[in-house]
Amino acid sequence: MKQFLLIIGSRMLQLIIMVLVLSFITFLLMKITPGDPIRTMLNVEDMAATKADEERLMKEYKFDRPILEQYGEWVIGVLQLDLGESLISKRPVLDMILEKLPATLSLSIGGLVVLFIIAVPMGVLGAVYEGRWPDYLSRWTALTGASIPSFWLGIMLIYVFSVQLNLLPVMGKATLAHFILPSVTLGVAMAPLYIRLLRERLIATLQSSYIEAAKARGLGKKRILFSHALRGSLIPLVTMFGLSIGGLLGGVTVIEILFSWPGMGELIVNAVMSRDYPVIQGYILIIGFLVVVSNLVVDIMYVIINPQLYNGKESM
Query: 316 by DSSP, 3-state: which?
Result: coil
Q: Does 35 bind other proteins (CB under 8 A)?
A: no
Nearest to other proteins of 197, 214 (CB atom): 214
311 scored as a contact of other proteins (CB under 8 A): yes
Q: Which of 74, 37, 38 is nearest to 56 (CA)?
A: 38
Residue 290 C-beta: closest distance to other proteins, Å: 28
**Type of residue found at 86:** S
Q: Which of 191, 197, 214, 280 binds other proteins (CB under 8 A)?
A: 214
Give pairs for 161-164: CB < 8 Å, separation 24+.
none
State the angle between helix axes of 264-273 and 230-258 in degrees (0 to 180), rounded to the nearest 10: 50
| CB burial of residue 181 (10 Å; 0-12, 13-18, 19+) | buried
Count residues near other proteins (CB under 8 A). Answer: 27
Q: Which listed range, 9-17, 40-48, 138-146, 221-229, lies at the site for other proteins (CB under 8 A)?
A: 221-229
Q: Which amino acid is at 72?
A: G
Task: Enumerate residues 280-309 that contact other proteins by CB under 8 A.
Answer: 305-308
Nearest to 112, CA basis, from 298, 307, 309, 284: 298
Applying CB under 8 A, among 1, 217, 222, 312 the residue interacting with other proteins is 217
Q: Which is nearer to other proteins, 41 or 214 (CB)?
A: 214
Q: Does 238 bind other proteins (CB under 8 A)?
A: no
Query: Least distance from C-beta 104 to other proteins, angstroms?
Result: 34
User: Which of 277, 271, 295 shows the shortest CA–CA distance to 77?
Assistant: 277
Sign for the pseudo-dihedral over CA of 258, 263, 247, 178: negative
Interacting residue with other proteins among 45, 82, 95, 212 (CB under 8 A): 212
Alpha-carbon dihedral 75, 81, 84, 89, rounded to 10 degrees? 150
Site track 161-200 with other proteins (rule: CB under 8 A), x = hit: ----------------------------------------
Q: Which is nearer to other proteins, 224 or 292 (CB)?
A: 224
Chain residues in the site for other proteins (CB under 8 A): 208-221, 223, 227-228, 231-232, 305-308, 311, 313, 315-316
